[in-house]
Amino acid sequence: MTLTEPEQQAVFDCRQDFAAELLALAEADERIVAVCNDSVGSSNLVGFRQRFPDRLINVGIAEQDLVGVAAGLANAGKIPFVCAAAPFLTGRALEQIKADVAYSEAHVVLCGQSPGMAYGELGPTHHSIEDLSWMRAVANLDIIIPADPVQTRAAVRWAAASQRPSYLRIPRFKVPVVTPGDAPFEPRRAVLLQDGGDATVIAIGSLTSRALEAAARLRGEGISVRVLNMPFLDPLDEDAIVAAARETGRIVTAEEATISGGLGAAVSAAVVTHHPVPMRILGIPRVFAPTGDTAFLLDHFGLSADGIVAAVKDLLRHG
Amino acid sequence: MLSADPVRAAAYRKTVERLRAADEDAVGAELDRLATDVRRNIVRTIDRAGMGHIGGDLSVTDILVSCFYGALSVDPERPQWTGRDRFVLSKGHCAAALYSTLAQCGFFATAELDTFMAPLSALNGHPNRLKVPGVETNTGALGHGLPVATGCALAAKIDGVSWRTFVVLGDGELQEGSNWEAAMAASHYGLSSLTAIVDRNRLQQGARTEETNALGALEDKWRSFGWEVREVDGHDHLALLRAMNGPRTGRPVAVIANTIKGKGVSFMEDRVEWHHKVPTPEQVDAALAELAR
């Protein structure tokens, strides 16, 4: 088994790693509290509630209150991990995230569970594809997109220690382990998963393993692709992006989010500012998804190894 | 971040101590005098800035003075003291009233009031906790203060500590649903250390609250959400103190403070246009003359 054959690899629901790491941290640091919106089950907090019933705050189905309460808890020295489905956390409480958390510089860790199209057939109300655009528009907020269980655990530890506002996107759609054991996990630091010279694919979250699969296929056709992963969407590793533009001349970005303002928008801003090269931006165009499970929808929008292969070839052919 | 005025801070601590031991008549007279000083600074501050929300500033002044001189346990020279009572001004547009009160207490020098809303001033049109000591959370968007205050009170409950949390809400802002989300949670968690004071001046930016989206029987609303309700004259300092400091019954307390928008300046009182109208130099003189009485 190799990293390049994800369909044969073990895959993981990262919410379990999130919950396990949070519980371990909470054992060591009594300031850590979990705040949720009737999402004990969906955020895998049953174990946390059993172990620390007084440190699990459930405000009910009330996301504005959820985030405001977390800011108040942080004011009094707690480290609140807000655990809620990503679409409702970011959409319903956007102004609280802006004013009470980011602008007030409250050490609140916003944990968007089941992001992207993880809720598949439940439809666009439950999809969180706008969250990256919304969160990127808010100043003073670190945005972390774990690609696998290893990065999920690292993200929890980093956010707890950072003393800064942050948004974590906790995957539910199962992904394989893609991060090498010695991979860096810090702001402004890309993870080089594979080097190459003909083009660079920059992928985050669920698209990371698909980018590796695409690179393996292209290698078989004699095309050498660099694969970069960006666990921190903000602050972004602009140096790695500019180096990729300079050294490979072509960039494809891939994310499970709308192309309006996520990874593709961030990378293109860096590229056009510092070293313009042709790009392709893979994501969800400005449409609401049709009915379908997550795997179907990812394929539907070309967010697959096939889609990435096609984008790289298109770049090579047409620039 | 602005720094404390040590002389005023020391005077503030002495005044608070004296008031704690004084009889009610003396307390009432002293707080009236302090509130007049704050009102004068509000008028001057808005006059210099050429901007502000003078009507709400003047309606909330007595609530602020009662809080800072008769309810809160805070130290202007140690604004981050962990054992402090928390105070949140949810109606952040009344920043000039908060700043005038904080300056009077010595959280920062009164000269800073001259910079209100000037370029690069710490004193933004809405309060910023990273720049102004005594501010616990950045407000301005309405409906944010009560959830944050609820979180503060929850933290105190989890830790079993005795400091209290006070939040001042505009009545118009109660049209924001986030308040009622927080009201439910505060009651559910039995946050008896939490006090919400509603500046019930019955006016909002464009019209009377009851003509805009009627709050109706406000007391019944809070009561039905599980709060203990205490209704008072929001310009009667002694009544405010009794309501804020009175015994607790295991529930959060909502103080409905009936106030007059523009209170203390006859031509501004209860008039909707003074929500954020700026007085002319002649009106400033007239206002200060009335506030000198």
The mean per-residue pLDDT over the stretch A272-292 comes to 97
Write the DSSP assignment of A230-291 as a string of letters. -SEEES--HHHHHHHHHHHS-EEEEEEEETTTSHHHHHHHHHHHH----EEEEEE-SS---S
Parts of chain A belonging to CATH 3.40.50.920: 191-318
User: In this prediction, what percent of chain A has a pLDDT beyond 90?
Assistant: 95
pLDDT tens-digit profile of B71-82? 999 999 999 999
Pick the residue of A30, A75, A82 with the most B CBs within 10 A to test the interface with B by mutation: A75
Residue A296: its pLDDT value, please?
Answer: 98
Q: Nearest-CA distance from A56 to chain B in Å?
A: 10
Q: How many CB atoms lie within 10 A of CB B81?
A: 12
Pick the residue of B128, B154, B173, B187 with the most A CBs within 10 A to test the interface with A by mutation: B154
Which chain A positions have a beta carbon within 8 Å of B83's beta carbon? Answer: none
Which chain B positions have a beta carbon within 8 Å of A80's beta carbon? Answer: 151
Q: Which of residues 122-161 of B touch A (CB under 8 A)?
A: 128-130, 136-141, 143-144, 146-156, 158-159
Angle between helix A238-248 and helix A263-274 axes, rounded to 10 deg: 60
Residue A250: its pLDDT value, please?
Answer: 98
**Residue A1 reports pLDDT greater than 50:** no
**Single-letter amino acid code for the residue at A19:** A
Which pair of tokens denotes residue B233?
A: 């004259």
Does residue A53 sit at the B interface (CB-CB below 8 Å)? no
Q: Nearest-CA distance from B135 to chain A in Å?
A: 10
Closest-CA residue of A relative to B183 is A65
Topology given in CATH for the domain delimited by A6-170 = Rossmann fold (3.40.50)
Which chain B positions have a beta carbon within 8 Å of A165's beta carbon? Answer: none
Closest-CA residue of B relative to A56 is B158
User: In this prediction, what percent of chain B has a pLDDT beyond 70?
Assistant: 100
**Residue A2 reports pLDDT greater than 80:** no
**Residue A316 reports pLDDT greater than 50:** yes
pLDDT tens-digit profile of A51-78? 999 999 999 999 999 999 999 999 999 9
Q: According to CATH, what is the number of the domain A191-318?
A: 3.40.50.920
pLDDT tens-digit profile of A163-216? 999 999 999 999 999 998 889 999 999 999 999 999 999 999 999 999 999 999
Parts of chain A belonging to CATH 3.40.50.970: 6-170
Select the residue of A59, A65, A95 nearest B141 (Cβ to Cβ). A95
Select the residue of A55, A70, A105 nearest B151 (Cβ to Cβ). A70
Which chain B positions have a beta carbon within 8 Å of A67's beta carbon? Answer: 147
Residue A5: its pLDDT value, please?
Answer: 52
Q: How far apart are CA B71 and CA A70, in angstroms?
A: 25
What letter does residue A223 receive in the DSSP assignment?
-
Residue B6: its pLDDT value, please?
Answer: 98
Residues in chain B, pLDDT under 70: 293
Q: Which of residues 56-95 of B touch A (CB under 8 A)?
A: 82, 86
Question: Are the beta carbons of B137 and A57 separated by less than 8 Å?
Answer: no
Does residue A26 sit at the B interface (CB-CB below 8 Å)? no
**Residue A4 reports pLDDT greater than 70:** no
Q: How far apart are CA B47 and CA B43, in angstroms?
A: 6
Question: Containing H/E element for A36?
Answer: strand A32-36
So what's the ipTM on this one? 0.95
Q: Nearest-CA distance from B159 to chain A in Å?
A: 10
Residue A9: its pLDDT value, please?
Answer: 83
Select the residue of B128, B143, B147 nearest A72 (Cβ to Cβ). B147
Give the contacts of A86 (CB within 8 A, at least 6 positions apart): A112, A113, A114, A115, A116, A128, A131, A169, A170
Please give the positions of A annotated as active site: 63
- Residues in a beta bridge with A112: A84, A169
pLDDT tens-digit profile of A13-46? 999 999 999 999 999 999 999 999 999 998 999 9
Domains of chain B, first to last: 6-129+136-291 (3.40.50.970)
**Residue A3 reports pLDDT greater than 60:** no
Q: How far apart are CA A78 and CA B152, in angstroms?
A: 9
**Residue A108 reports pLDDT greater than 80:** yes
Confidence of residue A7 (pLDDT cuts 50, 70, 90): low
pLDDT tens-digit profile of A254-271? 999 999 999 999 999 999
Does residue B182 sit at the A interface (CB-CB below 8 Å)? yes
